[in-house]
Chains A and B, each alone.
Chain A
């Protein structure tokens, strides 16, 4: 299995870019309308609950992006196809931003809800570790001048770091944490009302579109970086 990116693929990505940007902005505007105007306040948390509409999608995509990153690194180790390395490097920064947003918005939400900005409980600490894993992956690749070695070390780190993903996911079930358990699960009906599910769903689509849009921009950027590295060698 050796997938190669040619100019036609790049042109296709380029031509999709304006549509993706437009779709992202459009869905974000609808999402904002539902999150701030249509959704009712929570009967306990009041309007502070509206932070959920940006906090939860950020956390979901922080985890999803890391899973894709680790998966790409595994495929790169198996096939040595540089495409997987490019995919991993393209999405790492987007995942880092979503993790940071999840931490910041979670901290701001924590203050009115729990009375503290931060606690060292299992969910919050494992999310912070995820943020450091993203930073380590990005900076390791940049810091090592031998790019073959840099790819190996950073990919190994990303794969080892994947152990943190199930820890984040199940931390609220395994340990006694201040963070609430999942409200939306594949196995049971969601425990939040439909009037709150709709804005959450729209904001999730908007964040997904943002993830795809910026990842494709970064994909082109990383490809050019690789070409320039080859030219300079």
Chain B
């Protein structure tokens, strides 16, 4: 386990790369899915008002 965490002395480089990569992808995904929900709600409200 320690060997895996140490990454042959490159732990800071490997884990920070993977951390930044996956953190960014998850945040980007969440921003878009939340924006979609928000816009769907706004659009449905606008349509209701027009009707």
Contacts and interface: CB of A to CB of B under 8 A. Distances in A.
A105 B17 contact: yes
Contact of B39 (A41, A101, A111, A228): A228
Say whether chain B's binding surface is mostly helix, strand, loop, or mixed.
helix
Interface residues of A, number: 36
Contacts of A227: 43
Contacts of B46: 228, 231
A108 B16 contact: yes
Contacts of B43: 224, 227-228, 231
A220 B36 CA distance: 7
A92 interface: no
Question: Helix, strand, loop or mixed for chain A's interface?
Answer: helix
A108 B17 contact: yes
A227 B50 CA distance: 13
Interface string A175-214: 0000000000000000000000000000000000010011
B18 A54 contact: yes
A178 to B, nearest CB: 17
B10 A46 contact: yes
Interface string A100-120: 110011001101100000000
Interface in A31-70: 32, 36-37, 41, 46-48, 50-51, 54-55, 58
23 contacts: A28-B22, A36-B18, A37-B4, A47-B10, A50-B7, A93-B28, A93-B32, A97-B25, A97-B28, A100-B24, A101-B25, A104-B17, A104-B20, A105-B21, A108-B13, A109-B13, A112-B13, A217-B29, A217-B33, A218-B32, A224-B36, A225-B39, A228-B42
Given A28-B22, A93-B32, 9 more contacts: A37-B4, A41-B8, A48-B14, A51-B13, A51-B14, A100-B24, A105-B20, A214-B32, A217-B33
Interface of B: 4, 7-10, 13-14, 16-18, 20-22, 24-25, 28-29, 32-33, 35-36, 39-40, 42-43, 46-47, 50
